[in-house]
Amino acid sequence: MTLLDVQNLRVTFDTETGPVEAVRGVSFSLGRERLGIVGESGSGKTMTGRAVLRLIRPPGRIEAEQMIFDGQDLMGASEKEMRALRGKRIGMVMQDPKYSLNPVMTVGDQLTEGLRRRDGLGRRDAEAKALAALDAVQIRDPQRVMEAYPHELSGGMGQRVMIAMMLIPEPDLLIADEPTSALDVTVQAEVLSILDTLVRDRGMGLIFISHDLRLVARFCDRVLVMYKGRVVEELKAQNLLDAQHPYTRGLLNCLPRIGGPRGPLPALDRSGAWAE
Amino acid sequence: MTTLRAWLQDPSPTSRRQARLGQAWLAWLRIQRNRLAMAGLIIVVLLLLIAAFAPWIAPHDPFVQNLGNRLKPPGTPGYLLGTDDFGRDILTRIIYGSRITLYIIALVAVTAPVLGLLIGTVAGYFGGWIDAVLMRLTDIFLAFPRLILALALVAVLGPGIENAVLAIALTAWPPYARVARAETLTIRNSDYIAAIRLQGATAPRIILGHVVPMCLPSVVIRVTLDMAGVILIAAGLGFLGLGVQPPQPEWGLMISSGRKFLFEQWWVATMPGLAIFIVSLGFNLLGDGLRDVLDPKSAPK
Amino acid sequence: MTLIEIDALSVTFRAQGREVRAVQDVSLTVNQGESFGLVGESGSGKSTILRAICGMAPVTAGTIRIDGKPLPTPRGPGFATRVQMVFQDPYASLHPRHTIDRTLSEPLAIHGLGDSDARVVKALTDVGLPANFRFRYPHQLSGGQRQRVAIARALMLEPTILLLDEPTSALDASVQAEVLNLLSRLRDERGLTFLMVSHDLAVIDHMCDRVLVMQNGRAVEQMSRETLAQARMTTPYARSLFEASADRMLGGTPG
């Protein structure tokens, strides 16, 4: 059952020195599964995620042959219809809670804001739902966190709050843009396992955007590898080590490994035609 | 022309000059996209041109009196904007008055921001008691309403254009110091400052070469936005008879002397007032547009 | 031969009446020509140690000696020609308004070293950048290129010790490989001594001979590269870092 179908997505920015294409014809479809989008900086992976939610402002523009979410045409939808979708049916978790949580509102206020304004719940009901959401992301003292401000939370805690906030309205699709990149290694593992449980339990679709190929391979069912705005390879996560495309292979091989050889790391060879 | 363009947009400049000009060119392209900023720029450029070519474009002499021609309305042949109570052509006086306006703006622009920048960066960089002393000094100056302080200074120093400029400049520097200090506090912990310190640079080199260039955009924007205020204060001083003295065609002075005729011969005071309004607006629009261009955060990564 | 000796170092920051003990009682030694790694998560104090060596952190106890002699405060010009640092964020460590040429020639100007034209061009080619990058601005360079410039800058005064604060953390994987290769080559060519900080165990393993694991300002375990590679660490924290390392997530070595 296809949740999201994207055909020939293009994102272009009109700068003073001419148009810059961030995404050049990306196509993929997603069911209730986990899709990883991997790429380095400039690959267009973040822009792809933003384009699905039509969060790109001028001078950027989105073009696509088709972008359909659960039967609804995203390209043709009005801004009002998109607003109804965002948050409620498609959620987005971003990289650094320092920048994505409002620093002047308490966590509780931010969690309940959507519920009270969008869904019209009373204060008590909204708070109960918020506490339940914090509990679901395994925060041990949810009441204390409700009253705290974002800067009083650690990185891992902040990211969990972000995830809770996005999951309260119970969206069908979650787009996670580098959700663990700003976190310490040990905390990353915790947050990922929480995300794992939640996505699995609720049968959500997940688009996991990251620069970390190994992380994505472990966490997702399928992986899209992007380079300079295009998808260069699409494969099942378990087949990652059998990747064929020179870029994917190069990316796998250039990483240092504990216990690996100490000679120069094989650098990526960008001379192939695919590097255009 | 295309080779000049190519030279400016060369991704690998071969000299410092080419690099600097290339960046300026890109800034120019950016500002062109902002219609309002371009409007402001055009107004400012017009002001400069009018001031520069005043003797050639002004139809009459700004000082010669012609009492038979007093208070003629706008549209009278030969007197596009009418005449004042001494029979002098208002258009001519406005044109010549632009020179005075420009003189005042230029003097203030090179003194107040420079002073404020130095005080602010030194205070912000060193912190501690240097910061405390300098900021208290700034607070003292900030606490006075600008016009009152300017009035007091002019009253002590005597009327005249130079004293008016000095008075305005002495009251205008505190906001620049504040802005510069705020920027310095942010910059001071940057890695590039740590790097240059690690290379053994002395404080003057760091402040002048590394901190000040980063504060410049905020200060420049502030200057353009302040220009409107400076013009108005100079006009206010002129209006009160404490700045430029008659028969100089300073716009504020013209408004002041036209006050008596405001209801019947409205043009005597209103025309110079319009001139002040347009020039202030121009500087404001330009300042807003410069914010987009000079903001380092909007520079592409 | 011991080049850097840190003995019972403590660094405490005081702000608004509160104390943060960034480093508590840490000792380590680095031998000449060695590459020593400091690994830990955020708040471990590893970067603070580098700053303390540079005189940019409030040392409250302990000593730092280079070549047997304690460091003077302020560090003085002689320090700059012996110890230099490469910072983590290539977007923040180069002055945005200075051309590359200015960034590279300024250390020479400060120390009155002549022949800056030739030296700047040589520095660029040494780090694998074309000489025509000289008059570019940092925002016209990619992250990897900026980091190369940062490395070139650190080497302008020909130091013997290079402090590296997460030099590749902000870079893409493919660019990281190039920069790590560059650092290894430069170290071999110039006989440099490295003190490198990272949160990435795989990078540390690749680049360093000995490693100190830190947590919350304290030294947890020091090990040789062999111990790390064979997973023979003794403390539970070091082991948890090893387990969580993304390298392990893939399981097994790729073909």
Q: Note the pLDDT tens digit of each residue in B125-178.
A: 999 999 999 999 999 888 888 778 878 887 888 877 788 788 888 888 999 999
Contacts of B247 (CB under 8 A, 6+ apart): B63, B86
Which of C138, C143, C162 has its CA nearest to residue C151? Answer: C162
Q: Provide the H-helix boundaries in chain B.
A: 2-8, 16-32, 35-52, 54-57, 90-126, 128-143, 146-157, 161-187, 191-198, 203-206, 212-239, 251-258, 267-294
d(CA C59, CA B61): 74
Q: What band does A173 get if pLDDT is binned at 50, 70 and 90?
A: very high
Amino acid at site B211: V
Which pLDDT value is given to residue C253?
A: 39
Q: Do B192 and C92 touch (CB under 8 A)?
A: yes
Q: CA-CA distances (angstroms) from residue A134 to A90, A137, A140, B172?
A: 19, 5, 8, 52
Residue from the list C87, C111, C135 with its beta carbon closest to the beta carbon of B14: C135
pTM, whole model, 2 decimals?
0.85
Which residues of chain C have a Cβ shorter than 8 Å from any chain A Cβ? 41-42, 143, 172-178, 180-181, 184-185, 199, 201-203, 205-207, 228-231, 240-242, 244-250, 253-255
Q: Do B301 and C139 touch (CB under 8 A)?
A: yes
Q: Does C153 touch chain B (CB under 8 A)?
A: yes
Q: What band does A23 get if pLDDT is binned at 50, 70 and 90?
A: very high
Residues of A in contact with C184 (CB under 8 A): 264
Convert the pLDDT of each residue in C80-109 to its tens digit: 999 999 999 988 999 999 999 999 999 999
- Residue B66 has phi, psi (to 5 degrees) of -145, 85
As a whole number, the mean pLDDT across chain C is: 90
Convert the pLDDT of each residue in A198-249 to its tens digit: 888 888 899 999 988 888 888 899 999 999 999 999 999 888 888 888 899 8
Residue from the list C207, C250, C255 with its beta carbon closest to the beta carbon of A218: C250
Residue from the list A186, A188, A253 with its beta carbon closest to the beta carbon of C254: A253
Convert the pLDDT of each residue in C159-196 to its tens digit: 999 999 999 988 888 899 999 999 999 999 999 999 99
Decide if pLDDT at C52 tops 70.
yes
ipTM, two decimals, is: 0.89
**Is the CB of residue C12 less than 8 Å from the CB of residue C60?**
yes
Q: CA-CA distances (angstroms) from residue A221 to A30, A37, A46, B179, B242?
A: 11, 11, 19, 52, 80
Chain length of chain C: 255
Which pLDDT value is given to residue B301?
A: 33
d(CA C203, CA B61): 79
Decide if pLDDT at A118 tops 90.
no
Which pLDDT value is given to residue B3?
A: 84
Instruction: Using CA coordinates, name the residue in chain B closest to A42.
Output: B301
What is the 3-state secondary structure of A204-239?
CEEEEEECCHHHHHHHCCEEEEEECCEEEEEEEHHH
d(CA C68, CA C83): 15
Residues of A in contact with C175 (CB under 8 A): 40
Instruction: Output C41 or C250, whichever has higher pLDDT.
Output: C41
Which of C253, C246, C247 has its CA nearest to residue A192? Answer: C246
Q: What band does A141 get if pLDDT is binned at 50, 70 and 90?
A: confident
Chain length of chain B: 301
Q: Do A256 and C174 touch (CB under 8 A)?
A: no
Q: Look at residue C172 and give its three-state secondary structure.
A: coil
Q: Do B191 and C92 touch (CB under 8 A)?
A: yes
Chain length of chain A: 276
What is the 3-state secondary structure of B271-301?
HHHHHHHHHHHHHHHHHHHHHHHHCHHHCCC
Residues of B in contact with C135 (CB under 8 A): 12-16, 18-19
**Is the CB of residue A256 less than 8 Å from the CB of residue C174?**
no
Q: Do C172 and A252 touch (CB under 8 A)?
A: no
Q: Do B32 and A15 touch (CB under 8 A)?
A: no
Which residues of chain B have a Cβ shorter than 8 Å from any chain A Cβ? 9, 26, 29-30, 32-33, 300
Residues of C in contact with B207 (CB under 8 A): none
Q: Do A265 and C241 touch (CB under 8 A)?
A: no
Decide if pLDDT at A274 tops 80.
no
Residues in chain B where the model's pLDDT stays below 70: 1, 295-301
Contacts of B44 (CB under 8 A, 6+ apart): B279, B282, B283, B286
Contacts of A141 (CB under 8 A, 6+ apart): none
Q: Do the strands C69-70 and C83-86 form a parallel or antiparallel pair, or are they unpaired?
A: unpaired
Residues of B in contact with C106 (CB under 8 A): 196, 199, 201, 209
Q: CA-CA distances (angstroms) from residue A216 to A93, A178, B123?
A: 16, 10, 49
Convert the pLDDT of each residue in C104-143 to its tens digit: 999 999 999 888 899 999 999 999 999 889 999 998 898 8
**Which subunits count as partners of chain A given 3+ CB pairs below 8 Å?**
B, C
Q: Do B300 and A16 touch (CB under 8 A)?
A: no
Across the beta sheet with C83-86, the strand order is C83-86, C161-165, C193-198, C35-40, C210-215, C218-224
Q: Do C96 and B19 touch (CB under 8 A)?
A: no
Residue from the list C173, C175, C201 with its beta carbon closest to the beta carbon of A258: C201
Other CB atoms closer than 10 Å to residue B2's CB: what's the count? 6
Which pLDDT value is given to residue C252?
A: 41
d(CA A34, CA A175): 10
The token duo for B96 is 């010549």
Q: How close C36 gets to chain A, by Cα (Å)?
A: 15
Q: Do B32 and A17 touch (CB under 8 A)?
A: no
Helices C100-110 and C143-155 pack at an angle, to 10 degrees, of 10
What is the full DSSP assignment across C207-255?
Answer: H-SEEEEEETTEEEEEEEHHHHHTT---SHHHHHHHHHSHHHHH-S---
Other CB atoms closer than 10 Å to residue B222's CB: what's the count? 22
Q: What band does C246 get if pLDDT is binned at 50, 70 and 90?
A: low
Q: Do C202 and A189 touch (CB under 8 A)?
A: no
Decide if pLDDT at A116 tops 90.
no
Strand partners, B277: none
Convert the pLDDT of each residue in A175-194 to its tens digit: 999 888 888 888 888 888 88
d(CA B214, CA B190): 11
Contacts of C161 (CB under 8 A, 6+ apart): C3, C4, C66, C82, C83, C84, C192, C193, C194, C195
**Is the CB of residue B93 less than 8 Å from the CB of residue B243?**
no
Which pLDDT value is given to residue B134?
A: 95
The answer to whether the bond into A264 is cis (omega within 30° of 0) is no
